[in-house]
Chains A and B, each alone.
Chain A
Amino acid sequence: MNMTLIGTTLAALLTIAVYSFLYKDNPFYKFAEHLVVGVSAGYYLVIYYYNFIDPTVVSPVFRLRIGGDAILLGGVDWWMALIPGLLGLILYARFFPKIGWVSRWALGIYVGGYSGLGIAPVMQARVLDQIRGGALPVHALHTGQGWTNLLLVVGLLGTLTYFFFSLKHKGVLGGLARIGIVFIMVGFGASFGYTVMSRVSLLIGRMNFLLHDWLRIV
């Protein structure tokens, strides 16, 4: 028995163990669940170390210093790596109740920094591009494209109105919001069907693995 067959058989048995959850919770599912959670936690620990901690902190500060090369991170001095390293370390301050509050600094810098960096791209992608895409010609109603544009503009304005929280949805505002939710639900329906199709293809993939790669009966 070669290693490939052993690996395929193990993967097949784990697949069946996971599918057994469809009947009810059972020891086989529990085993598969705990195995994948444990393995993935260990896997990600290694991935994070080699992809983030090592190249951004450990190598610049320790290894390359010993080797005499003080420059890394695209020309940034090695000591610059100490800043994110220190911020990462102080996250662990929470394990010491007296200085636990220090960990909030790191969280604050992380959240604030990312939020600030995200503002301009979000403004461009979600507001400006929407405005540009929404200002469509709706006067040529003798053509199919004119009606399509009109439908898009009405749907867009209705949807924006639905997500307006500063006034009660009554009167004209309520009417527009109602149109908006209809468009939203139509969109959800289309998205649901599309995604279910892709999930069915995943199921076919697993069935193919079990019946073809493992059992070789199809």
Chain B
Amino acid sequence: MRALLPALSLSVSVLLALFPPAGRAADAPLSEVVRETAAPAAVTGLQARDYLDNNDRGDKIELSWCLSADDGAGALSVLEYRVWRSQAPDEQGELVATLEPGTAAHVDTGVTPGVAYYYRVEAFDGALSSPAATAGPAVGRINLFQTSRLPVLVLSLAFFAMVIWFTRLAARGTNLFVRRIPGLNAVEEAVGRATEMGRPVLYVPGIGEIDDIQTIASLTILSHVAKIAAEYETPLIVPTARSVVMSAAEEVVKEAYAEAGHPDNYNPDNIRYLSDAQFAFAGAVSGIMMRERPAANLYLGAFWAESLLFAETGFETKAIQVAGTANVSQLPFFVTACDYTLLGEELYAASAYLSREPKLLGGLKGSDWMKVITICIIVAGVVLTALGVPQFGRWFFTQ
């Protein structure tokens, strides 16, 4: 295409020379015809500035401009943009980039930190270049702080401040309201039902690692469930897919039994490591359901494709089932096959609600008010965008 257009331009010029339009002498030389061809419109608003990124070494300068009026829409078709770099404002300098039409930004890599550069950008239509837009001087600098991530810092600090504030309030004994989550009532009901039937409770804390926040939330709920199971003297089976999670679950259940005043009822054999392999774990848990016939199955934590296998097998055994996960892709299966489901963040809220632990309550309240801030910003963004101020949304763009 790039080769075709100059050839076409030349052909038109030749035709014009052979069959001149009115107002031009037939004997005018061909070079004059070419000289008369207009150059594409220049780019506007060229800006050159230091580029900020992770591990910034100061070797990049960012350029941005508004497209030539002839780029796609004008009478002349821009074939490419040419970017020139120099160390003096009146020099043409070195061609550092040739860019496709429609490109309005470029990052010049490989500049020397601390050196001032000038840039020229031209639109080229295959025959002529537009007048150059110039910008500079721009200097690449080593930046310790990435300013484009300022929104992350601001919102993180606001979030931390709210969490600390609410945690202190909770620690002082202030009654922080948390609405009751429907699925939570079902947890106690499920353990009670298992007790009446004289069958165990199965608690699966997901297949996430201990660093997964869902697993941590699940272990908090496990503590609550273990206390109820200890009080009711109902066996509690906890199969795990990660060795560290098994260690943590052992600690949690043992402590809960001690707090409930039944340390002797704690059976370490019921906290089981099965397998790290997802479907081996799913098969083994299904086997436990079929053979030990727990009357209540609780699936709370991080789950993936095994979710439906658990829920369907539990349904077959006619156990009451309560599930909860923040993995959105698995929630539909739990909603379909379980009696109660904690949706997404309800899992975290449940752990705070049950434990009334100041740190968890502070985290829940902090994230609640963070949502209020988010809603306000979105509404403000929608209104400002409608009023023709799109820059607002750009402030939240981070690399």
Interface residues of A (CB under 8 A from B): 18, 21, 24-25, 29-30, 32-33, 36-37, 39-41, 43-44, 91, 94, 103-104, 107, 110-111, 114-115, 118-120, 123-124, 127-132, 134-139, 153, 156-157, 160-161, 163-169, 184-185, 187-189, 191-192, 195, 199
Contacts and interface: CB of A to CB of B under 8 A. Distances in A.
Contacts of B332: 188-189, 191-192, 195
Given A123-B156, A128-B151, A160 B374 contact: yes
For A107, A131, A139, which residue has the most chain B Cβ atoms within 10 angstroms?
A: A131
Nearest to B274: A37
B247 A127 contact: no
Contacts of B386: 137-139
A120 B178 contact: no
Given A40-B277, A123-B152, A160-B371, A132 B210 contact: no
A165 B349 contact: yes
A21 B250 contact: no
B280 A40 contact: yes
Nearest to A159: B344
Nearest to B273: A41
A114 B388 CA distance: 42
Interface string B385-399: 110000011001110
B213 interface: yes
A34 to B, nearest CB: 8
B378 A37 contact: no
B336 interface: yes
B155 A127 contact: yes
B248 interface: yes
Interface string B169-190: 0000000111101000000000
B287 interface: yes
B18 interface: no
A37 B277 CA distance: 8
Contact of A184 (B211, B343, B379): B343
Interface in B234-250: 244, 247-248, 250
Given A111-B211, A166-B177, A134 B277 contact: no
Nearest to A157: B375
Contact of B280 (A36, A114, A157, A185): A36
Q: Please classify how large the interface on chain B is, using the bins under 10, 10 to 19, 20 to 34, 35 or more.
A: 35 or more
Nearest to B343: A184
A36 B345 contact: no
B319 to A, nearest CB: 15
B381 interface: yes
Contact of A166 (B247, B329, B365): B365
B108 interface: no
B378 A128 contact: no
B283 A157 contact: no
B365 to A, nearest CB: 6
B382 A136 contact: yes
Given A114-B211, A131-B378, A165-B368, 13 more contacts: A21-B290, A32-B283, A41-B274, A41-B276, A110-B210, A128-B152, A135-B384, A135-B393, A135-B396, A136-B385, A157-B375, A165-B181, A191-B329
A40 B374 contact: no
Contacts of A104: 251
B286 interface: yes
A135 B178 contact: no
A94 B328 contact: no
Contacts of B213: 115, 118
Contact of A165 (B149, B364, B378): B364
B216 interface: yes
Contacts of B44: none
Interface string B255-286: 00000000000000000001111011101101
21 contacts: A40-B275, A40-B276, A104-B251, A110-B211, A115-B213, A120-B156, A123-B152, A123-B155, A131-B381, A131-B393, A132-B393, A134-B381, A134-B382, A135-B392, A136-B385, A138-B385, A157-B375, A160-B374, A165-B179, A167-B179, A191-B332
Given A44-B276, A128-B155, A189-B332, A157 B378 contact: yes
A198 B211 CA distance: 29
7 nearest A-B pairs in the assembled complex, by CB-CB distance: A135-B381, A114-B211, A40-B277, A192-B332, A139-B386, A25-B290, A188-B332
Nearest to A195: B329
Nearest to B317: A25
Contacts of A44: 275-277
